[in-house]
Structures are given as C-alpha cells and as structure tokens.
Amino acid sequence: MRPLLLAVMMSLVGTACFADGRFWVVGNRATSRCEIVTSNPVIVGDIWFGDGPYRSLDDAKLARSTIGACPKDNPPAAKDDAPVPNNDAPAAREDAPAD
C-alpha cells in the first residue's frame, strides 16, 4: 500500500511542476488581437476566447496563425514577441451595473 501511495504523491508533484512553461492564445476584443499569455486565461470581459495550453512559445505562435478569429497581420506583442503576462483577476468593466 505504501508504494502505491508514494507513486500517487510523486505523480501529483510531477504534474504540478510540468504546469509551468505553458502558453495560451487568447482573443482580446479591446485590442482586436490574439495574444499569447503564460497563465490560464479567465474568459470574461474583453477576453472572449482562450486556446491551449501549449508546451512552447513556437507551438502557441503556430496555433495563433491557424485560428480563424485571429487577424492574419497580428503584430508582435513586444520587442521579442514575448508572451504577455495574464492577471488572474478580471478587470472591472465600465458597462457593468453597480452593486
């Protein structure tokens, strides 16, 4: 029983380690662009779709080029086309009703 428990615990720790270094493609209505982010996107407000995760930045770029909703002339997000950090907390919307 102990070897089974040890194997399960090791697989959970290993899975958490492999979650780092993943990339997602998100559609952003505010900028009319598809961006590559490094954390699981929250689909709310201006973020209207998310696709992924991908294991490498090159895989995410390839996926972005095949998504029909992404503009074909999508300029790089930054100097080296680095992924955009994604905040997990959604931004407040101006058109949202006040509580």
- Which tens digit of pLDDT belongs to each residue from 13-69? 444 444 578 999 999 999 999 999 999 999 999 999 999 999 999 999 999 999 998
pLDDT of residue 88: 52
pLDDT at 6 > cutoff 70: no
- What per-residue confidence (pLDDT) applies to 72? 77
Q: Say if residue 11's pLDDT is above 80.
A: no
Q: Which residue has the tokens 């993943």?
A: 22
Is the distance from CB of 47 to CB of 26 less than 8 angstroms? yes
Q: What pLDDT score does 52 carry?
A: 95
pLDDT over 70 at 87, yes or no: no
Instruction: Indicate whether this model's pTM tops 0.85.
Output: no
Range with the poorest average pLDDT among 11-20, 63-72, 74-83: 11-20
Higher pLDDT, 44 or 92: 44
Q: In the numeric block, which tokens belong to residue 2?
A: 């102990």
d(C-alpha 55, C-alpha 73), whole Å: 24
Cα gap 23→60, rounded to integer Å:
6
Tokens of residue 91, six digits? 């931004």
